[in-house]
Amino acid sequence: MKRRKFIQNASLSTFGIAVGTSVFASETKTSISEVSNPKSGTSGFPMVIATWNVNSSTAEAWRVLQEGNSALDAIEKGCMVEEANAEGQSVGIGGLPDRDGNVTLDACIMDSKGNYGAVVYLQHIMHPISVARKVMEDTPHVILAGKGAEQFAISEGFKPIDLLTEASKKAWEEWKKTSQYKPIINIENHDTIGMLAIDKNGDISGGCTTSGLAYKIAGRVGDSPIIGSGLFIDNEIGGATATGLGEEVLKTVGSFLIVELMRQGKTPQQACEEAIGRIIKKNPDYKDFQVGYIAVNKKGETGWYSIHDGFWVTKYQNDKNENFHSDFYDKK
Ligand code: GLY
């Protein structure tokens, strides 16, 4: 818990909520930049970029790409690394539960052909990203929810497990003593994992996986599994994905907006900044919550931006697996 950095800690109306409450998954940083605003960033592919400091995940995705596999394979394998990390309390096993003590997971995946699959409110399954891929590839549907999603996963061979670790149970029991919602708007290193990849053929895919807001009301679903909000890919243009307070991303359909802005000629950086600007313009409470975006265009040029300080990005490109401290809007 010592790595936690509470950027702000103010009440967020009735539902002041912990955003990105997680323990940092210990990662080896290969290189760290200062606060970065990659206006003239590097380009090229294959490449992979992800929200937060998730070097092990990007390394796995890169390995899959280097073997000549598709961006879709790289996304699934890369996201699985974080989902299996029990120390990360915002994704997969070990995720912080809802207010009733249930760990519920949301995830989606999108390929270069515009296919999309998602699971929402999935319980007891370690790898929602893989179930989302099965929804996309093996069913005529795009989203499966709750018990139905769990039954589908089990029918596809996924083993049901208890996702609530001792550490997350302890944190929940501690929270229950006051049941007080507080938005912990930014833990330095981690929240939802959104990942975008381009393979050697120049085809783009993306994925997004999360346990959502800690101590949320049972049944709450965030932006991460929703096409256009937590993730959007258009193989002619590029892709974008989000982390942070899902409600705000949903209301502005953030990832679709970023891809459409790139279609109109904006760089990935300009598009991310404009999407953050839309949230700020519409919401005077922006000081109480965090949102971060990452984006990539068809050339492999990237951008990232957040409302507040504390957002990090990992990019594996041109043989380098690097962490970047994102530039942000709220300079006080
Ligand atoms: N961005 C994750 C969530 O709000 O659930």
The yes-or-no verdict on residue 230 having pLDDT over 80 is: yes
* 192 annotated active-site: yes
- pLDDT, tens digit (0-9, with 9 covering 90-100), for 176-186: 888 776 655 55
Split at pLDDT 50, 70, 90, the class of 10 is very low
C-alpha distances (whole Å) from 166 to each of 71, 94, 162 are 35, 8, 11
Query: How many distinct structural domains can be found in the chain?
Result: 1
Query: Ligand 1: which of 51, 82, 210, 247 to mutate, judged by most atoms within 8 Å of the beta carbon?
Result: 210
Name 165's Cβ contacts closer than 8 Å, sequence gap at least 6: 86, 93, 94
The yes-or-no verdict on residue 109 having pLDDT over 80 is: yes
How confident is the model over 195-221, as a mean pLDDT?
95
Take atom 5 of ligand 1 and give the residue whose Cα is closest.
212
Judge whether 20 lies within some domain: no
- Paired tokens of 17: 């909520």
128 preceded by a cis bond (ω within 30 of 0)? no
Best CA proximity match to 288, nearest among 179, 191, 187, 183:
183
The CATH number linked to 286 is 3.60.20.30
The yes-or-no verdict on residue 25 having pLDDT over 60 is: no
Judge whether 22 lies within some domain: no
Judge whether 34 lies within some domain: no
Please state, in angstroms and rounded to a whole number, the distance separating the CA atoms of residues 62 and 238: 18
Residue 263 burial class via C-beta count within 10 angstroms: exposed 0-12, middle 13-18, buried 19 and up = middle
Judge whether 31 lies within some domain: no
Judge whether 214 lies within some domain: yes
- pLDDT, tens digit (0-9, with 9 covering 90-100), for 113-143: 999 999 999 999 999 999 999 999 999 999 9
The yes-or-no verdict on residue 264 having pLDDT over 90 is: yes
pLDDT at 189: 42
How confident is the model over 87-100, as a mean pLDDT?
91
Instruction: Point out the ligand 1 atom lying closest to the alpha carbon of residue 221.
Output: 5
pLDDT at 209: 97
The yes-or-no verdict on residue 75 having pLDDT over 50 is: yes
Give 242 Cα–ligand 1 centroid separation in angstroms. Answer: 8
Name the pTM for this structure.
0.89
Judge whether 156 lies within some domain: yes
- What is the extent of the structural domain holding 262? 43-325
Helix or strand (DSSP H, E) at 176: helix 166-176
Judge whether 28 lies within some domain: no
Phi, psi of 244 (to 5 degrees): 110, -160
Judge whether 142 lies within some domain: yes
Give 325 Cα–ligand 1 centroid separation in angstroms. Answer: 20
